[in-house]
Amino acid sequence: MYIIEKNLMLDMLRPARGESVLDIGCGTGESLIPFVETGLSVTGIDPSQHMLDCALKKLGNRVELRRSFAEELPFDDNSFNYASFFTSLEFVNDPKKALEEACRVAKDKIFIGILNSHSINVFGMRIKGLFSGSVYRSANFYNIWEVKAIVREILGDVPVSWATVYRVPLITRATAEKIEQTGYAKKYPFGTFAGIVVTLVPRFRTRPLAIYPAKQTQTTGAIAG
């Protein structure tokens, strides 16, 4: 994970020390490190045991790791403050179901980090994937508006914000970081990496009350005429 993407994720989520986060599709654990360094209680899930073994070697007992699919999370409702996808939504079989599950287990915000399908860099990844064994050969890339449409389909008109990282080929990291500090760069819709934050609005389930007929009472006594 590049430091620019890491900073973007933390700036958008603004988590507080001691809060909890579930990273969905944590892979080898790189996406877990920023959360650990921020002092969060961190859980990562991934369908690949090999990936989880790599994450365990990297982070040890500083995180909880579970083998699971994004579409069927083994956690109760509202178990975490935050849920995060860091370039993992591209690899799930059912993105809508995965996002529904994230919305179910998180109670504050969801961060969705995607490789933006509208960027020239991702176009190059697609072409390269056609002629090589790249992991991105089987990826489904999304853009900001596609993700927002799925979120709105699930949750309705909830607050959604986004920002991007624009990686220009053949420039130094220092120069790239200076570019990213400008407001224009973060709101460039064709940036290579897009961060999308969904603020979850509490929803209350109401149980209908049974309505019983009024109990009739029998009166006795004479009526004066």
Average pLDDT over every residue of 92-120: 95
Residue 155's H or E segment, with its range, is: helix 144-155
β-pairing, 41-46 with 80-86? unpaired
pLDDT one-digit tens code per residue, 48-102: 999 999 999 999 999 999 999 999 999 999 999 999 999 999 999 999 999 999 9
Rg from Cα positions in the chain: 24
* Average pLDDT for the chain: 84
Identify the pLDDT of residue 222: 39
The pLDDT of residue 217 is above 50: no
pLDDT confidence band for 210 (50 / 70 / 90): low
Beta bridge partners of 20: 41
Which sign does the torsion angle of CA 81, 192, 8, 196 carry? negative
CA distance 60 to 97: 30
The helix-helix angle for 3-13 and 173-180 (nearest 10°) equals 20
The CATH superfamily label for domain 3-199 reads Vaccinia Virus protein VP39 (3.40.50.150)
CB 13 within 8 A of CB 195: no
Tell me how far apart the alpha carbons of residues 37 and 67 are, in angstroms, rounded to a whole number: 23
Taking the domains of the chain in order of start, what are their residue ranges? 3-199
